Amino acid sequence: MSMNAVCKVGLVGAGVVGGGVAETILARAGLLARRSGVHIDLVKVADKDQPRAYAAGVPKDRVVDDFRAVVDDPEIRIVAELMGGTGVACDVVMSALAAGKHVVTANKALLAERGRDIFAKARDKNLVVAFEAAVAGGIPLLLALRDGLVANRMQSLLGIVNGTCNYILTEMTGKNLPFEGALKEAQRLGFAEADPSGDVDGKDSGHKLALLSALAFETWIDFSRLHIEGIKNIRDIDIRIASNLGYTPKLLGVIRAEPRPSSSEEGGRGEVAENGRLFLSVHPALLRTSHPLAAVSGSMNAVETEGDAVMESMFYGRGAGRYPTASAVVSDIVAVAKSVVFGGPGPAWFPPEKNAYRIAPFTDYQARYYLRFVIRDKPGVLGTLATVLGARNVSIAAMHQFEADRFDGLASVCLITHSAREGNLSQAINDISALDILHEPPVLIRIEG
């Protein structure tokens, strides 16, 4: 490969990630050229706050304050959008595509919410929109799903894709902290933002799940209709009980194709029907402590996938941070630059024109459930619970009743169910709530893995 090939690149945004990308490209120009055959020439960096770009080592004459100077530069072939948000960032991406430039972005919210328009535009102009850094940060996950596992129909995916939530749940588990205490600790250490709602409400995980559904299951979902539950209502008492039962709490993004393989005897040849249904959800879940994802602690991310040829795989690493995210962004820039210079499709990927799966209603979701009821300790209550659940087809796998408190006479009953339909389970919960036996609303946590 010739070492003289050059690809001119512009960045928009020189904050934590953008600054890290600029720094990496500048410091690693020789290494990247040796490995890829292309010299990545960072010709313009746009940021309203120009000193941020200077701090990343960008020469002053390459820093501009208006993104249009990047998008309008006829020599620039790749625009990396690293400002975040769904407002101006959308203009940056759409106008870069309109100007015939490939786009690299780490912006999950933008792609999950506006991806259809963006990818349609890219397809139209035969341009790449690469977004390795948008899901699971530094982990080369999209590359693995798109190219490494290209021969597989994916059957299921379980992901820990939000480091803030994983940090909080790890602290709650390890230190017996309530949610608020663990959140404060996470904020103090920089693992949670001052306004943590986008993370702890599960929305950020939802954005990533939407992109994983499009990429790995060829199914684009309407983000506003995705089932999302955050971790705010997870209580330390349930973590403690679950721990004793051998379970670890995680905020999971789940995708599961139906029908699931009936047999894996033949090394995972179970077929996933192309016209089947896809189950998607973001919710706190319990995993057996021996499950590979249960060991993913602190702010780390990991995604476990099951493909019908490769069977189970797991990809683990840093989901955020200046240099880990830059590592992913730069890998996209290099891949696109190689296709610009040498030809070939590069990391091109477009959502399917037709979804491979129909989205199943969440009421048909199947899981095992951890349930906790605080009951007034009267004779016959346990039998009533079991009867009502049974009438809704929810069958009990394990039950633990804890002695009633001698002052308030309230007893806790924990149940682990066999696999049950979400719709049946919630009807059963409604039935139970209608009876006058519960002291407080029941607790429900799904069990996955």
Least distance (Å) between residue 148 CB and its own copies: 2
Q: Which is nearer to its own copies, 323 or 362 (CB)?
A: 323
Site for its own copies in 199-228 (CB under 8 A): none
Least distance (Å) between residue 67 CB and its own copies: 24
Say if residues 350 and 119 touch (Cβ distance below 8 Å): yes
| Nearest one of 441, 388, 378, 377 to 417, comparing CA atoms | 388
Torsion, Cα 374 378 384 385, to 10 degrees, reads 20
Site for its own copies in 133-172 (CB under 8 A): 138-140, 143-144, 147-153
Written as one string, the DSSP assignment of 295-322 is G--TTEEEEEEEETTTEEEEEEEE-SSH
Least distance (Å) between residue 24 CB and its own copies: 5
Structure-token match 């490769």, residue found: 310
Written as one string, the DSSP assignment of 373-413 is EEEE--TTHHHHHHHHHHHTT--EEEEEEEPPPTTT-EEEE
For the chain, the farthest-separated pair of C-alpha atoms sits apart, in whole angstroms, at: 84
User: Of the candidates 67, 119, 191, 315, which one interacts with its own copies according to CB under 8 A?
Assistant: 315
Least distance (Å) between residue 53 CB and its own copies: 18
Least distance (Å) between residue 197 CB and its own copies: 26
Q: Which stretch binds its own copies (CB under 8 A): 20-28, 190-198, 255-263, 381-389?
A: 20-28
CA 16 – CA 348 distance, rounded (Å)? 26
CA 340 – CA 110 distance, rounded (Å)? 25
Q: Which of 8, 101, 108, 208 is catalytic?
A: 208
CA 403 – CA 215 distance, rounded (Å)? 49
Q: What six digits make up the tokens of 383? A: 């039998």
Q: Known catalytic residue: 184?
A: no
| Binding footprint of its own copies, residue count (CB under 8 A) | 62
Q: Is 28 in the site for its own copies (CB under 8 A)?
A: yes
Say whether 257 sits in a helix, a strand or coil: strand
Site for its own copies in 275-314 (CB under 8 A): 290, 292, 295-296, 302, 307-314
Known catalytic residues?
208
Chain residues binding its own copies by CB under 8 A are 1, 20, 24, 28, 31-32, 35-37, 132, 138-140, 143-144, 147-153, 266-269, 290, 292, 295-296, 302, 307-318, 321-324, 326-328, 330-331, 334-335, 338-339, 342-346, 348
